[in-house]
Structure 1
Amino acid sequence: MGTLKVDVVRVFTDESGNLGNELGIVRSGPASAGREQDIAARLGFSETVFLEAVASADSAASGGTAALRIFTPTTELPFAGHPSVGTAWWLREQGTGVGVLHEPAGDVAVEYDGTLTWISAKPNWAPKFEWLPQDSADAVEGFDGSEFSRGHHYVYAWADEAAGRLRSRMFAPAMGIAEDEATGAAAVRVTEKLGRDLQITQGSGSQLFTKLDGDFVRVGGATVFDRSLELDV
């Protein structure tokens, strides 16, 4: 019996560093090998990242690479947005900023821009979502997703269409996520669907920014460190 260190960050916070989606970050090793799904389920975050390898570059700000695997409480994902953004930010805080994250879906480019960390992804790397457009932001906020038992359901409405501001919520119970606070993969998909750059307010008020970039969509947001914990394994 031993302990496993888990760093927890919050991704896509508001401008004051509040809210955001919790992410567990684990450096892979003998204590986690082959037990990733069980560990992710025990932690209970919408996603937990297991860092397989980190290769430093000359600059601590960018240029290195990292390989990672991403798990929800019930399944492994080939790509996910908030784990990619959060891990890239955390690596820079550790002095090993990266330019690329190697994920099962493909290589995810990383950029750092002040308080925001950006990643680039192809829309087809993300899950397919059931789109549930609403008439108003108030309708999104009052939406009852408690009856969903499977699938990925993205509820959204324009808060300000001219400005590209979207209000959204996402429910994915089959992945062990009754409601996700901030979903980068869904931001990639909805940006492709709507065909424009967006500022998305999701969940309780988390903030995601997106930009169309050819065959890719860039997703950015702010991340803060929340806490460290130890898990008995």
Structure 2
Amino acid sequence: MRLRFFTLDVFTTRRFAGNPLAVVLGADGLDCATMQAIAREFNLSETVFVLEPRDSVNTARLRIFTPGVELPFAGHPTVGAAVLLATQRAPEMLTRHGVVIALEEEIGLVRCEVVRDASGAVLARFDAPRLPVRGAPAPHAAPLTQALGLEAEEIGFGHHIPSSFSAGVELVFVPVRSRAALDRARPDPAAFPALLGERIGAYLYTSETVEPSSAVCARMFANGVGIGEDPATGAAAAAFAGVAHAFEAPEDGEHEFVIEQGYAMGRPSRIILGSRIEAGRLVAVTVAGHAVLIQRGDLDL
């Protein structure tokens, strides 16, 4: 069997930045074990497999794997796959007025709008398939300091305290007082997984940013999925809308801001997070980002 694959850099407009992604097309004949083996071979944060949709009105079905596990939903594979499918299947429409891509993921249907902007870069925006919900109580600051290599006074700022949220996968969100502390954080190999348990990672964030146009600078240390640090985490960004709503109490209306991630890894990434508040309630979340094609080839299986 020979399958076509592509790699893209996601949440960036330039090559060799952002979060690398592998996309394997025509994967209907693969079983779970083979998909997991291919994801381990690529050894990227995620590899996405494109299959025929269960419902023919949709564009495609996706299965998403880290090197260690399958995920029900992830943001950078959603953005990258949507950009690739739009540019492969409808390049003329993409240039004229954009394309709507409907992706069946394990979490449910994810609707994406893909457009080519004035600079020629391609951007995908998707509606979060689930609104953020609070998870289990977050660890206290003292065990977090040991697990993350920080000082107690470096955790928390403004109204922000550690919390847990999920928009499909649950993470611990840790507010960090400064970017210097954020850059210095290092998970302890024993204490970190013991503290997080079943949660998929810890998302550290600060309001001190590298780029003046960003609102938040973040790092995501993964837990139990076969990677260490993720350069850009769209599912975490979707859940972060719950954090922002809980601790910033934004007014009713539409809101949009940029989360920068991956800068400490030399993989600068920019995630555009949107939300809508009605009567004080978070009612909609969107995640957007660019993606650029890096390579294409064949898998011989």
Normalization by structure 2: what TM-score?
0.67
1:154-169 map, 5 Å: 154-159=203-208, 165-169=215-219
**Equivalent residues, number:** 224
Identity in percent? 34
Cα pair 2:11 2:232 within 8 Å, conserved: yes
Amino acid at match of 1:105: I
Residue 84 of structure 2 aligns to a residue whose secondary structure is helix
2:241 maps to 1:191: yes
Query: 2:36: which partner in 1?
Result: 37
Cα pair 2:167 2:236 within 8 Å, conserved: no
**Among 201, 205, 215, the residue aligned to 2:260:** 201
Query: 1:137: which partner in 2?
Result: 179
CA distance in 2, matches of 1:40, 1:18: 20
Amino acid at match of 1:128: E
Cα pair 2:59 2:102 within 8 Å, conserved: yes
2:296 maps to 1:228: yes
Displacement after TM superposition at 1:127 (Å): 1.2
Note closer, same or farther for the CA distance 1:181–1:163 as it changes in structure 2 (3 Å cut). Answer: closer
1:203-232 alpha-carbon deviations (Å, 9 max, x no partner): 122100010145331000110001124344
Query: 1:90: which partner in 2?
Result: 84
Q: Which has the higher contact order (CA 8 A, sep 6+)?
A: 1
CA distance in 1, matches of 2:27, 2:285: 32
CA distance in 1, matches of 2:80, 2:53: 15
Residue 217 of structure 2 aligns to a residue whose secondary structure is strand
Residue 232 of structure 2 aligns to a residue whose secondary structure is coil
Query: 1:128: which partner in 2?
Result: 170
CA distance in 2, matches of 1:136, 1:22: 27
1:171-190 map, 5 Å: 171-190=221-240
CA distance in 2, matches of 1:164, 1:20: 15
Cα pair 2:23 2:81 within 8 Å, conserved: yes
Structure with bigger strand share is 1
Q: CA RMSD in A?
A: 2.5
Displacement after TM superposition at 1:64 (Å): 5.6
1:34-77 alpha-carbon deviations (Å, 9 max, x no partner): 4111111121111111111169x9xxxxx962211111111111
Residue 185 of structure 2 aligns to a residue whose secondary structure is coil
Structure 1 or 2, whichever has the larger Rg, is 2
**Once superposed, which parts of structure 1, at least 4 consecutive aligned residues long, lie more than 4 Å away?**
15-18
Deviates more, 1:4-13 or 1:211-220: 211-220
Q: Is there any run of 5+ residues in structure 1 with no aligned partner, and where? A: 58-62
Note closer, same or farther for the CA distance 1:105–1:64 as it changes in structure 2 (3 Å cut). Answer: closer
CA distance in 2, matches of 1:206, 1:117: 14
**Among 220, 238, 246, the residue aligned to 1:170:** 220
Cα pair 2:262 2:269 within 8 Å, conserved: yes
Query: 1:60: which partner in 2?
Result: none
Cα pair 2:3 2:27 within 8 Å, conserved: no
Displacement after TM superposition at 1:17 (Å): 4.7
CA distance in 1, matches of 2:27, 2:258: 38
